[in-house]
Amino acid sequence: MGTALRTPPAPRPELYRFSRLDFVTASLYVAVAAFFAVAGGLLVPLMLQLSPNPAVASYTVNLLFYGTIGILALAAVRRVAARDLRVLATRPWFTMLMVPLAVVAMMILTAVFVSLTGQPQTSANQAGLQALMQQVPAWLMVPLLVVVGPFVEEYIFRHLLIGKLSRRVNVWVCCGLSIVLFAALHIVGQEDLSLPVLMPYLAMGAVLVFVYVWTGMNVMFAYFVHASKNLLAVIFIYAIPPELMEQVQQMQG
């Protein structure tokens, strides 16, 4: 597919050594995510104290979680992110063209994966987001789903699990681990685990891993692809009336 951005991250090996801040950020992310999956119900009374509206309370907790992790992640990856942005700035045409193409490829791959596994199914994660978005305005959801969330996930699943871990473990093992753990994060705690539910996240993770490695481990390019895909999903959900969305979900069920 060409060599437009295949500038390797070296010679800056110090940028790809695990730092103390990496361990703190990743540990906090895993601990809180695991708590939400295993014992998230314990937070319900506290959430309702934040707001009597469960949707607003859920949004607030998620924003606090991702906001805190996002600040730590930005501090940890700031030098790599600044370098990657400078690389992208030298080839703006590449970014403007390849980001939407990558999103289209992600959608096509998702459709193929899902068609191979049978009837499409909505994951509990997706259903929860759709329910939340029906009660929270778009201008509040965009910072969470488009700005902060994708940045945190690209830092964890691409920059740490591939960019840094591949200095110690085979890069293809790291890529597989990134795809599987990324998909697992989005369905963890779900009772009905099935391939149709898992496949969309495997497809999304595979494309994000591909563009990250193909661009010479450019975490900002992967972030732009991830954020663009989420923005498209947000626009799609807010543009469709809730009644029609319910009909679509019933047809899928």
Per the structure block, which two tokens stand in for 196?
């149709």
The per-residue pLDDT for 207 is 97
**Phi (first) and psi of residue 64, to 5 degrees:** -65, -40
Question: What's the CA dihedral at 226, 227, 233, 237 to 10 degrees?
Answer: 150
Mean pLDDT of all residues belonging to the chain: 84
The DSSP secondary-structure symbol of 216 reads T
Give the list of residues 6+ apart from residue 142 with CB closer than 8 angstroms, or none: 231, 234
Please report where in the chains the tokens 């708590």 appear, as a residue.
Answer: 35
**pLDDT for 24-71, tens place per residue?**
999 999 998 888 777 666 666 666 666 667 777 778 888 999 999 999
- Global pTM reads 0.87
Three-state DSSP at 215 gives: coil
Q: Point out the residues of the chain with pLDDT beneath 50.
A: 1-4, 6-11, 248-253
Kindly provide the b/e burial profile for residues 11-31, where b requires at least 16 CB atoms within 10 angstroms of the residue's own CB.
Answer: eeeebbeeeeebeebbeebee
The per-residue pLDDT for 225 is 98
